[in-house]
Each structure stands twice: as structure tokens, then as C-alpha cells.
């Protein structure tokens, strides 16, 4: 089997055009093509009146070696890679050792738990939040009634931060072992649409994610794993070792109970601020890391579709158009679009009382009226928050609190039309664009709840983006803020064995630990950490 990449066909090509295109590309007779299967499909919309689909296909040929020899210098013609997942360890039949514990049931903890369970290590998964159906009610409580549950919300509970999201399932991490394929196959087995296996930019959407995490939970439980909801880890039980390092012996929970554990996956996500504070107090090695800050911007999806796809806007194969923008500003800052959600809505994403945070979500159909995206500026510890490992959290809280006040201290988000923002005056009324954030938007001057350099950078970047996507800087486009949870403000540094640099047995993982940014990369990281634990337990090591 060979893998052929970069095969281009016109947007409206007939189904039978594919075999002919493969044969033409490889210079073979049609009789020599035995079979083919699409592995990936993307599009190239740079020329709006000649949009092309770009395929990667696996092909079975009568004489594959001859073709490989002929295309030896062509990187688009290669032997098909082996993408099957293989377990690195297995618990012996009837294994009764000390069970590994996973803190956090987000994508990272979910996949760490799944792999540990599939290897036979019967993990215990703890989460401070609730199972996904109950959690959904609490999350909607904030969106509909402005009632926040600090333990069960858009950040905390089964499925983690990405449950109420666009469910984008792609990432840029290097993945030489194709662990991302393992994740996608597990998602499909749990009810995701099978097109996520072939789309270049797959997404799932919120409602499907809810049923999928339930299905994955059932699998973990059938394999002997166990979930414990509303179990918040408050303290680590540590034992001193030589050379200033410590060893993890167990976990103290907020209800006063204690769990003995030698191997713990710490997959608490980027919003686990009390947990980060506890880790810092206990001397776990933590470093500050860059993250970004900004707002959500909304336009009618039809504007984005027209700008990206021209006359082909609305074509069923293309779906709702996405975009990705970046501009390097004169003040040395970079403005970029983040977590763009076509046909979706802006959501209230705070997990702390008295703060406002924005993010975006959509359903699988991406059929809602507005497109939204984070519009953010990168910040770094040396320049912007030089006060120690947790200074980034203080900074986030500062701007989130100002946003809460600017919104009217009722979980409404402060919002402003782009035209008013560029002119430096508060908004007093809406135009063509209705913001989707619930419970509501208070029109105001957003520059009061953003750092000055972010305001300056936005004022420079918006007109530039307007030249790339028509109407991006339309005066009626709406911005709501603040977007502060783009990634973790810290890294809980680990060594080559995936354990904390100075606490043996603690395996920091996923987005909160600074090792992932998004659902897929967090899930991949969960697999890697589970494998490290499987190997450590199998080798009979203490950690």
C-alpha cells in the first residue's frame, strides 16, 4: 500500500474522477490501480473562483515497488505508514497492585484513564466537577440565569474544558507515533462522526461531545476503572527523598478523605488555580509561561463565507468558513485569531466568582448566525508578569475582574462595536451584528479592561485584517471580553520520564501543566503519560 499526498481535484469533481486522477498522477494504467481509500481531505481556497480539494489517499497498486522507485525523490509518494496503536505495557491477568490515580476528567485525564484501563491498570479518575449531564445544567445556569457554580461549569467537570466547545480536533504537535489517530478512532467508536478520520480540520461540536464522553466513561468502567465526581484534590501527601526531591504517597481530598497512590496523573487543566497555588506551596517545580490575552470578535458567518469562498459560499463540501489571522505590530506585539468557531456562539467561561471570561463553541452543524474567534495578543513572563511562577494567574484575575465590573457585575460581558473601539469611544447601541454571549452584553469601552499595549495592537491589526477578510473591521462587528484562558500561565515541568522534576510519582500532563493546547494535543499527552506509568508499574519501579 502506498500513500499519495497533495492530490488536487476541483471542488465539484464527480466521484469517479478520483481513480483517474490517481492514475494520471502516478503515470499508471487504470488496470494497475487495485483500490484506493481517502485518508484526508482539505481544501485550497486561495483562488476563490477555482477552489480545489486536496486529498491524501492510500492506494493499492499492481506494482508498488516500481512506482516507489520512479517517485523516489517525490515526498508525496511514500509507503503507507503504520498508524496502528500498540500498547507499550499490559497488567498481568488479575493484577492487584496499587491503582494509578488520574486527577481531572478532561481530554488529557480521559485518555490517560482510557489507556491505563485498556492496559489493565484499573485507574481511579477524580474530578472536582460533576458527570456531564449534571454539569450541563450547571453550565447553562450561568448562561441562562447568571448563576455560577465554581465547581461545575464550562471549565470543570466530565469532559473538561472542551466539552462545550467547537470540538476542533486538530493540532500542530509532532506526532510520529500517530497517537492522534488512536484518539480519533476512540472518538468514532464512542459515537463521533466518522468523517473526523478524513477531514483535514475535523470538529465535533458540543452535543456530540457530551454523548461521547459518556460512552468513553462506560468503556473505562467496564475495564475496571472508576470515576469519582465532586472529588477535589486539595493536598499532596509527600515523603522526603535524597537530594531534595520528594515522593508522592497519596492525595488529600476536599471532603477530608485520603487516597494512597504512587502514580498520579495531574491533568487539571489551565483553570485549576487553587491547585496550582497548592502545588507551589508544596514546592512542586513550576515555571511561568507565555499565554495570550484579548477578546472574542463576532461577524455574521455569511460575511466570512463570502470573503473566504466567494461564489462558492454555502457549498456543502466546504461548510462554514474558518479563518486564521496574524499581524506583527509596530509595538512588538503579535495579534492573532485563536480558536475560531464558525457558525457558533460566544460563551461565558469563568470558573471563579466575580470574573468574566469569554470563549467560543458551536454545534456539529456550525449553523448558528455568527462566526466568532478569539482575537488575542501574546504575553510573556519576562516582559509582562515578572512576579514569580503564579504571577500570570494574578494578571488573568486582574483583567477578568475588571471585565466583570465593566459588564455590570452580573456576569454580563463588556462589549463594543469595532467602529467605536477604533474611534476610541464607548458603544451605546448595536448595528448589524448581534452578539451571542449569554447572559448578556453591556455596551461600553473595552479599552478599560485590556492592557494598553493590547488596545494599541488591536487598533493597528483590525484594519490590516479587514484587508485580508472583507468586513473584518466593519464598524458593526462586535467584540466582547475578556479572553484570558487561552492556555496555561504555568508549566509544571517534568523530566524525560514524564514525572515532575522534583516530585517522583507525580505526572503533570495536558494543558494545565503546559504540555498541550487543545483537545487533541491534551488527549495525546494523556496517552503518553499513561504509557509512562504503565511502563513504570510494569518495571516494578516505585515511580
Interacting residue ranges for ligand FAD, rule: CB under 6 A: 103-109, 126-129, 154-157, 160-162, 164-168, 232-233, 267-269, 272, 275, 339, 347, 349, 359-361, 510-512, 516-520, 522
Compare residues 41 and 270 and give the one whose CB is closer to ligand FAD: 270
Beta-carbon contacts of 533 under 8 Å, excluding residues fewer than 6 positions away, are 100, 112, 116, 121, 263, 265, 498, 507
Compare residues 13 and 364 and give the one whose CB is closer to ligand FAD: 364
* CB of residue 211 to ligand FAD, shortest distance in Å: 17
C-alpha cell at 302: 455569511
* CB of residue 189 to ligand FAD, shortest distance in Å: 19
Give the 3-state DSSP-derived string for 419-455, with helices as H, strands as E and coil as C. Answer: HHHHHCCCCCCCCCCCCCCCCCEEECCHHHHCCHHHH
* CB of residue 79 to ligand FAD, shortest distance in Å: 30
* CB of residue 159 to ligand FAD, shortest distance in Å: 7
Compare residues 202 and 288 and give the one whose CB is closer to ligand FAD: 202
Q: How far apart, in Å, are the Cα atoms of 357 and each of 155, 273, 294, 346?
A: 11, 14, 10, 10
Compare residues 167 and 407 and give the one whose CB is closer to ligand FAD: 167
Compare residues 91 and 522 and give the one whose CB is closer to ligand FAD: 522
* CB of residue 9 to ligand FAD, shortest distance in Å: 28
Compare residues 55 and 187 and give the one whose CB is closer to ligand FAD: 187
Q: Are 357 and 349 in contact (CB under 8 A)?
A: yes
Burial 299-308 (b: 16+ CB within 10 A, else e): bbbbbbbbbb
* CB of residue 31 to ligand FAD, shortest distance in Å: 44
Neighbours of 428 (CB within 10 A): 9
* CB of residue 84 to ligand FAD, shortest distance in Å: 24
Three-class secondary structure of residue 28 per DSSP: coil
* CB of residue 222 to ligand FAD, shortest distance in Å: 21
Strand partners, 345: 361
Compare residues 18 and 356 and give the one whose CB is closer to ligand FAD: 356
Burial 51-79 (b: 16+ CB within 10 A, else e): bbbebbbebebeebeebeeebeeeeebee
C-alpha cell at 114: 482510557
Q: Are 179 and 524 in contact (CB under 8 A)?
A: yes
Compare residues 53 and 339 and give the one whose CB is closer to ligand FAD: 339
Compare residues 104 and 319 and give the one whose CB is closer to ligand FAD: 104
d(CA 217, CA 222): 9
* CB of residue 68 to ligand FAD, shortest distance in Å: 36
Q: What is the DSSP letter of 50?
A: G
Q: How far apart, in Å, are the Cα atoms of 287 and each of 248, 379, 485?
A: 20, 15, 17
Name the packing angle between helices 107-119 and 206-222 (round to 10°). Answer: 30
* CB of residue 175 to ligand FAD, shortest distance in Å: 14
d(CA 123, CA 529): 13
Compare residues 151 and 420 and give the one whose CB is closer to ligand FAD: 151
Q: Are 380 and 491 in contact (CB under 8 A)?
A: no
Burial 431-455 (b: 16+ CB within 10 A, else e): eebebbbbbebbbbbbbebbbebbb
* CB of residue 146 to ligand FAD, shortest distance in Å: 17
Beta-carbon contacts of 311 under 8 Å, excluding residues fewer than 6 positions away, are 48, 49
* CB of residue 162 to ligand FAD, shortest distance in Å: 3
Q: Where are the beta strands (DSSP E) in 232-277?
A: 233-240, 246-253, 258-260, 264-266
Compare residues 47 and 172 and give the one whose CB is closer to ligand FAD: 172
Compare residues 105 and 457 and give the one whose CB is closer to ligand FAD: 105
Amino acid at each position: 500500500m502506498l500513500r499519495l499526498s497533495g492530490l488536487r481535484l476541483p471542488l465539484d469533481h464527480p466521484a469517479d474522477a478520483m481513480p483517474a486522477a490517481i492514475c494520471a498522477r502516478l503515470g499508471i494504467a487504470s488496470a494497475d490501480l487495485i483500490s484506493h481509500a481517502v485518508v484526508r481531505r482539505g481544501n485550497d481556497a486561495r483562488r476563490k473562483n477555482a477552489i480545489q480539494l486536496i486529498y491524501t489517499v492510500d492506494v493499492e497498486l499492481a506494482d508498488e515497488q516500481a512506482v516507489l522507485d520512479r517517485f523516489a525523490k517525490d515526498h508525496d509518494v511514500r509507503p503507507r505508514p503504520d498508524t496502528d496503536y500498540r500498547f507499550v505495557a499490559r497488567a498481568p491477568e488479575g493484577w492487584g497492585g496499587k491503582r494509578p490515580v488520574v486527577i481531572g476528567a478532561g481530554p488529557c485525564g480521559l485518555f490517560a484513564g482510557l489507556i491505563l484501563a485498556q492496559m489493565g491498570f484499573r485507574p481511579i479518575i477524580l474530578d472536582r466537577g460533576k458527570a456531564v449531564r449534571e454539569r450541563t445544567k450547571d453550565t447553562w445556569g450561568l448562561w441562562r440565569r447568571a448563576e455560577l457554580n465554581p465547581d461545575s461549569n464550562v471549565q470543570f467537570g466530565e469532559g473538561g474544558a472542551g466539552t462545550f466547545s467547537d470540538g476542533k480536533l486538530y493540532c500542530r504537535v509532532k506526532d510520529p507515533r500517530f497517537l492522534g489517530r488512536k484518539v480519533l478512532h476512540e472518538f468514532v467508536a464512542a459515537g463521533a462522526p466518522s468523517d473526523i478520520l478524513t477531514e483535514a480540520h475535523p470538529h465535533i461540536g458540543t452535543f456530540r461531545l457530551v454523548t461521547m464522553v459518556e460512552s468513553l466513561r462506560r468503556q473505562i468502567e467496564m475495564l475496571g476503572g472508576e470515576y469519582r465526581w465532586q472529588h477535589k484534590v486539595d493536598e499532596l501527601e509527600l515523603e522526603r527523598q535524597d537530594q531534595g526531591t520528594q515522593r508522592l504517597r497519596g492525595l488529600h481530598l476536599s471532603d477530608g478523605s485520603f487516597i494512597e497512590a504512587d502514580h498520579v496523573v495531574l491533568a487539571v487543566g489551565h483553570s485549576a488555580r487553587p491547585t496550582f497555588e497548592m502545588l507551589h506551596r508544596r514546592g512542586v517545580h513550576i515555571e511561568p509561561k507565555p499565554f495570550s490575552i484579548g477578546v472574542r470578535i463576532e461577524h455574521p458567518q455569511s460575511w466570512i463565507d463570502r470573503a473566504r469562498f466567494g461564489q462558492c459560499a454555502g457549498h456543502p463540501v466546504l461548510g462554514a468558513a474558518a479563518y486564521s489571522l496574524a499581524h506583527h505590530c509596530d509595538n512588538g506585539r503579535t495579534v492573532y485569531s485563536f480558536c475560531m468557531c464558525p457558525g457558533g456562539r460566544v460563551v461565558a467561561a469563568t470558573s471563579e466568582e466575580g470574573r468574566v471570561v469569554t470563549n467560543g463553541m458551536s454545534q456539529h452543524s456550525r449553523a448558528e448566525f455568527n462566526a466568532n474567534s478569539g482575537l488575542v495578543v501574546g504575553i510573556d513572563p519576562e516582559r509582562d508578569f515578572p512576579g514569580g511562577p503564579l504571577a500570570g494567574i494574578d494578571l488573568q484575575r486582574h483583567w477578568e475582574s475588571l471585565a466583570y465590573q465593566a459588564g455590570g457585575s452580573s456576569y454580563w460581558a463588556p462589549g463594543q462595536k469595532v467602529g467605536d473601539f477604533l474611534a476610541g469611544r464607548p458603544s451605546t447601541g448595536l448595528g448589524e451584528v448581534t452578539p451571542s454571549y449569554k447572559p448578556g452584553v453591556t455596551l461600553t469601552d473595552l479599552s478599560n479592561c485590556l492592557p494598553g499595549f493590547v488596545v494599541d495592537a488591536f487598533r493597528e491589526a483590525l484594519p490590516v485584517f479587514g484587508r485580508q477578510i472583507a468586513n473584518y473591521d466593519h464598524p458593526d462587528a462586535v467584540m466582547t471580553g475578556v479572553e484570558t484562558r487561552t492556555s496555561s500561565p504555568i508549566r509544571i515541568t517534568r523530566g524525560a520520564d514524564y514525572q515532575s522534576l522534583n516530585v517522583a510519582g507525580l505526572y503533570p500532563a495536558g494543558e494545565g501543566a503546559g504540555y498541550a493546547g487543545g483537545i487533541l494535543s491534551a488527549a495525546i499527552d494523556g496517552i503518553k503519560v499513561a504509557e509512562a506509568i504503565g511502563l513504570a508499574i510494569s518495571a516494578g519501579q516505585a515511580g
